[in-house]
Amino acid sequence: MKKVRTRFAPSPSGFLHVGGARTALFNFLYARATGGSFIIRVEDTDQERSSKSSEDTILDSLAWLGIHADEGVREGGPFVPYRQSERLDRYRKYTNQLLEKGAAFACFCSGEEIESKQKQARAMGLPYVYDGKCRGLSSADVQSRIKAGEPFAVRFRVDQGDILVEDLVQGRVKFDARLIGDFIIVKSDGFPSYNYAVVVDDHEMEISHVIRGVGHLSNTPRQILIHQALGFPLPVYAHISEIVGTDRKKLSKRRGATSVLFFRELGYLPQAFVNYMALLGWYPDDAVEFMPSGELGAKFDVHRCSKSPAMFDFFLVEKNSTPDDEGGIADGDEGVETAGTLTAEELRRQINQKSKLNWLNNKYIRYLPAEETWPQARSFIEANPQGAALMQKQAAKIEEAYGAIRVYLNRLEEVSDYILEIFQEKLHVEEDGRAFMQDGRYRKLTQVFLDKLGIEKPEDPEAFSALFQSLGKELNVKGKDLYMPIRVVTTGKMHGLELPALFSLLGPVALARRVQELQALIYS
């Protein structure tokens, strides 16, 4: 069996979003699971949209996720260069072959002319298919117009018939060549189209498996035709399911979540994010979802990928994008957006706290040694001016406290709230809390709570929850009338951290001192 060689080929025109990151991950995992090689290639033939800064951001995002290439633009390898804009001479050689054998032809139709015909087709409710205007030009006519300096593109000649795609995930899919038409393989600026360059690159780099999003399935018949015309063997195709948001709408170039690096800013660990993405459209045969010890690289099998949409359980905003003339975008462009992305703050407000990502992140924060995640946790504490001041005074104690706090964290960013609450140097009561506590019922409740602390001396979250329940039954109160007075008399605030977890970290003695001090402030 031929050695497995997979690749991820992003267009450097924006950030790396969830769709593209998952495509890279599935290619990376399949190469690792089969003892193959994983290649990163940059598809930058769209010179207007491509930039070096975008390329660096995408590669840095992959590095944060731990998705490392065996060959690529940074690593080098036997098939350099791995950047399409540096491979134009290679495409030119194959273009000449296609022109000489009549499999391609020069097209002198202007962009304005094509756009006008596209609009006309849309107005009639029909898909646009090139009408073959330049298909029958004589060789003499073509040479004369080229010699005169008339700009032209090169189109691939498509004959009638069915094109079959044998896909590991989607099964056998049939396309009608009449709905494809003669498509552009070299643009008038001399740069190859996506559908053309990807075929040449995959062949020369000996790519055995093309794993990408199902949105690219419609590109595949064009690529198969080019493979066949050039006498190239076909790679194995696997088009993985689309990703949808919580509203069940497609997560794509039009509706991207945001840069994956924003998830680092929110306190997600790369191991957890990778574990989560692996479960978007794939599931291990042993049904074990938490895979912290390298199991992903051994378990992953592209044959187990699902056709059904995978839900990314964050709320997503609408996006705007414009497909190119031939409808082709680079394989790595799923979820790569150049404008309108969410900021970290906007995403923070939309986080689903009960999401699987949060569950996995908490599992990894618990599983990994505290000293391994402490540097990132410390950065979140020091990002807050109050936290930075506390770190200067009590760094050792705070690091020790982190070892206990981390079991309650869904995201490392949350550590700052716990530290500020536990180590605050001076208690105060917020005005809305003071006003709330003027209800006479709450003074008695907080005093009974203080008495129970001294008697029961609860130590863990379960014991504090039991204390709340017994207090509620004794005084016949529940809900807001039970928990809000306790929150205010222990924190001075109407809103904050989960009380049983916070109280177990403070301990009954320190908590009792807080109640006495805050009672004096509230009722003074």
> Pick from 453, 510, 440, 513: which is nearest to 481 by CA?
440
Cα separations in angstroms, 413 against 179, 410, 416, 418, 503: 51, 9, 6, 10, 20
As a whole number, mean pLDDT of residues 479-489 equals 94
CA-CA-CA-CA torsion sign (147, 153, 158, 163): positive
Sequential DSSP letters for 172-215: EEEEEGGGT-SEEEE-TTSPBPHHHHHHHHHHHTT--EEEEEGG
Indicate whether 270 pLDDT > 50.
yes
- pLDDT given at position 46: 81
pTM over 0.95: no
Which residues does residue 310 pair with via DSSP β-bridges, in sequence order? 243
| Token digits of residue 472 | 């509620």
Report how far residue 452's alpha carbon sits from residue 455's, in angstroms, rounded to the nearest whole number: 5
342: confidence class by pLDDT, cuts 50, 70, 90: low
49: confidence class by pLDDT, cuts 50, 70, 90: confident
> Pick from 274, 498, 347, 291: which is nearest to 408 by CA?
498
| Token digits of residue 259 | 């840069």
- Kindly calculate the radius of gyration of the chain based on its CA atoms and give it in whole angstroms: 30
Q: Which of 101-115, 178-192, 339-353, 359-373 has the lowest mean pLDDT?
A: 339-353
317: confidence class by pLDDT, cuts 50, 70, 90: very low
Question: What secondary structure letter does DSSP report for 148?
Answer: T
- pLDDT given at position 330: 57
- pLDDT given at position 322: 32
Contact criterion met (CB below 8 Å) for 223 and 185? no
- pLDDT given at position 99: 97
Report how far residue 85's alpha carbon sits from residue 92's, in angstroms, rounded to the nearest whole number: 12
Contact criterion met (CB below 8 Å) for 346 and 316? no
CA-CA-CA-CA torsion sign (392, 395, 401, 406): positive
Beginning with the edge strand found earlier in the chain, give each strand of the sheet holding 243-244 in spatial order. 250-251, 243-244, 310-311
Report how far residue 145's alpha carbon sits from residue 76's, in angstroms, rounded to the nearest whole number: 41
Q: Which of 109-113, 350-354, 470-474 has the lowest mean pLDDT?
A: 350-354
The domains of the chain, with CATH numbers, are 369-425 (no CATH), 427-524 (1.10.10.350)
Extract the runs of DSSP E, i.e. beta strands, from 265-365: 310-311
Report how far residue 18's alpha carbon sits from residue 336's, in angstroms, rounded to the nearest whole number: 8
